[in-house]
Amino acid sequence: MAGKYDDLTPAQLVELLEKRDRTKKLGLVWERDEIEADQAVDANFVTCRIVPDLSDKPAPWDNLVIEGDNFDALRWLRMTHAGRVKCIYIDPPYNTGNKDWVYNDRYMNRENRFRQSTWLEFLYRRLTLARDLLAEDGVLLISINDDQRAYLELMADEAMPGMRIGSFTWQTRAGTKGDGPYFSQDNEYVIAYGKPTFRFGGSLADQEKYSNPDNDPRGPWTSVALQTNKTRIERENSYFPVQNPRTKHWHPCNPNRVWPFLLRGMKGARGATFEDMFENDLILFSKEGESQKFETREELIEAIQSGLAHPYLKVDLPDLDFWIGKEIGLGTVRKKQFLSDLKEAKKPTSSFIRKLNEPDEDEDRIFVRSGMTGEGTREISRIFGHPAFNYAKPVSLIRELVRQSTGPDDLVLDFFAGSATTAQAVMELNAEDGGRRRFIMVSSTEASEDEPDKNICRDVSAERVRRLNASKDPRYADFAAAFAYLRTYEIAFEDLDYDLTPADAWVALEAMHDLPLTPYDPARPWTLHEGDHVALVLVDSFDNSLLDWLRGRDRQNLFVYAWAPGQIAQHLDGTDVDIRPVRDTLVKRFQN
């Protein structure tokens, strides 16, 4: 079947491609080689190896610190943790052009007109990998300054289409004089991208205001106003009086916030009418039984002007004459709201981050609270005894973002870990609420020609967690986070049969099955890890003890891996065991 381009000459095809390249599109365009980018993801295989001497506390290790290029680490994590991370927080380099991060040595040049594109492509490749790690209710949070925010958001829209939630604004310092236009840039931002079912924690409804004084079988309830945010001018058909069927008193409608219901028989009535709600014992009348009555228009107007009439009655209302001679019910019309009907948090999370001691002035929102940049600097100095890392974010900022984004058993990732503030934030939350949140911190060495022995991951990221684990400071008394220290290695696919070790495979398989990591014992023919809900076996060479162990075992959630499954299977004749090939399984997941 002929294609639509088959009749075009080479010159016409070139012209068509050039026209496509010239065509503007809505959004951000940056210089990138899509073919090269796609090839880079699967250019080789990445493995992670445990460094026992740099790991902390005895195994099993629930938390990970990974040393290496975060592009490699993310490729490995996509193989092992896809769809399992609840919250990713990153504080990436801000593309200042200064040598404030290791990749400047290879990528950044202030005079390079492609500098922005290089930075965008650098982050784009990492965000597309990170996207695949998020759980279906997961969120990715990115810190950024005002200079790069617009570029980053547009690029992130490309990397994570349809996932944009919005952004937080937080105050980084108390205030400085602004250069040039005298504009003090005291704020930074945290932009948020979430999967379909993600919700920030908000604030739970105040259950103390729910009670059941009338023993309603539907349970505890509270009284809420029956009003909308529309005026009688905006929604004319929703402005009318209602009558209490019990007292026959008439109740006026608020002309500035009309009813959210209609009456039976009214044109356009859908859903529950006033009569429906009354019959279902949902309607409440505050001050029921109390009323006032005016026999003449003059008497009514005088009462309105003196403030003695019902506050919803105004002199300029078109239905003023209706109220003459009527028993006007005092109070307002309200509705029962049942605690059991609340499906969401009562107060949503605000996009403005407030200072730690700033008072609450808004009862309708819950605020993330954070210290300023100086808090991060002081915390680093307190833990290390000196400023071991520059520009660390305040722990309070990340702690409260993680609090709003996770539950007590969730997994948190930071692949620009730096000083591992995110790890401390997770430790603080767990100490506070008894949670079992886990973290994965990824950091490079940041070694350069000038500093070949520099290792930020080893000496700052991991060291911070080590010091917190061992600290005698009462502020860190309940902190505990055992971690495995991993180092990334690249292996050419054609060399996997020789260079991928059983220890490499064991780390990957444990991580794939959501098991804490344990050291691999090369002296054993097969290695076992039995978790609460899964049993994992890696067979290096067949041994009869494996048959003894398998007899009578429940096959559900039992996973057996072997380098040569066929050879092992012949020894297991008559046993219904699913044996999976190690190499093919890992490569398939890595390239998925």
Residue 505 in domain: no
Residue 26 in domain: no
Both tokens assigned to 257? 């916030």
Domain boundary among 281, 311, 341: 341
Which of 88-97, 193-202, 296-305 shows the lowest mean pLDDT across its residues? 88-97
Domain boundary among 459, 490, 521: 490
Q: Secondary structure of the chain: what % helix, strand, coil (to 5)? A: 35, 20, 45
Both tokens assigned to 59? 């195994």
- Whether residues 178 and 216 fall in one domain: no
The CATH number that applies at residue 453 is: 3.40.50.150
Residue 188 in domain: yes
Confidence of residue 574 (pLDDT cuts 50, 70, 90): low
pLDDT digits (tens, 9 = 90+) for 56-101: 999 999 999 999 999 999 999 999 999 999 999 999 988 765 544 4
Q: How many CB atoms neighbour CB 464 within 10 A? A: 27
- Whether residues 156 and 293 fall in one domain: no
- Whether residues 331 and 364 fall in one domain: no
120 contact partners, CB below 8 Å, separation of at least 6: 28, 30, 32, 151, 152, 155
pLDDT given for residue 323 in this prediction: 95
Whole-angstrom Cα distance, residue 506 to residue 563?
12
pLDDT given for residue 312 in this prediction: 94
pLDDT (average), residues 403-414: 96
pLDDT (average), residues 174-190: 75
- Whether residues 292 and 431 fall in one domain: no
pLDDT (average), residues 212-222: 93
pLDDT digits (tens, 9 = 90+) for 468-477: 999 999 999 8
| 298 has pLDDT over 90 | yes
pLDDT given for residue 377 in this prediction: 84
Which of 75-79, 361-365, 505-509, 521-525 shows the lowest mean pLDDT across its residues? 361-365
- Whether residues 392 and 429 fall in one domain: yes
- Whether residues 333 and 211 fall in one domain: yes
pLDDT given for residue 106 in this prediction: 46
Confidence of residue 365 (pLDDT cuts 50, 70, 90): confident
Q: For a pLDDT cut of 90, what percent of the chain falls above it?
A: 61
* Cis ω before 260 (30° cut-off from 0): no
Report the chain's mean pLDDT, rounded to a whole number: 88
Both tokens assigned to 409? 């058993």
367 contact partners, CB below 8 Å, separation of at least 6: 349, 350, 352, 353, 354, 360
Residue with tokens 């994965």: 440
Torsion angles phi and psi, residue 205, rounded to 5: -60, 145
Residue 390 in domain: yes
- Whether residues 73 and 84 fall in one domain: yes
Angle at 166 between CA 376 and CA 96, to 5 degrees: 50
Domains contained in the chain, number: 3
- Whether residues 87 and 176 fall in one domain: yes
Contact 304, 298 (CB under 8 A): no
Residue 28 in domain: no
| 587 has pLDDT over 50 | yes
Residue 15 in domain: no
Q: For a pLDDT cut of 70, what percent of the chain falls above it?
A: 91
Write the DSSP symbol of residue 372: -
- Whether residues 378 and 479 fall in one domain: yes
pLDDT given for residue 77 in this prediction: 98
Domain boundary among 341, 370, 405: 341
pLDDT (average), residues 294-302: 94
What's the whole-model pTM score? 0.76
Residue 20 in domain: no
Query: In terms of residue numbers, what domain contains 255?
Result: 207-341
Confidence of residue 5 (pLDDT cuts 50, 70, 90): confident
| 368 has pLDDT over 50 | yes
Residue 199 in domain: yes
- Whether residues 550 and 583 fall in one domain: yes
Alpha carbon dihedral 19, 24, 29, 32, in 10-degree steps, equals -10
- Whether residues 50 and 188 fall in one domain: yes
pLDDT given for residue 536 in this prediction: 94
Torsion angles phi and psi, residue 551, rounded to 5: -60, 125
- Whether residues 379 and 442 fall in one domain: yes
pLDDT given for residue 204 in this prediction: 64
Confidence of residue 178 (pLDDT cuts 50, 70, 90): low
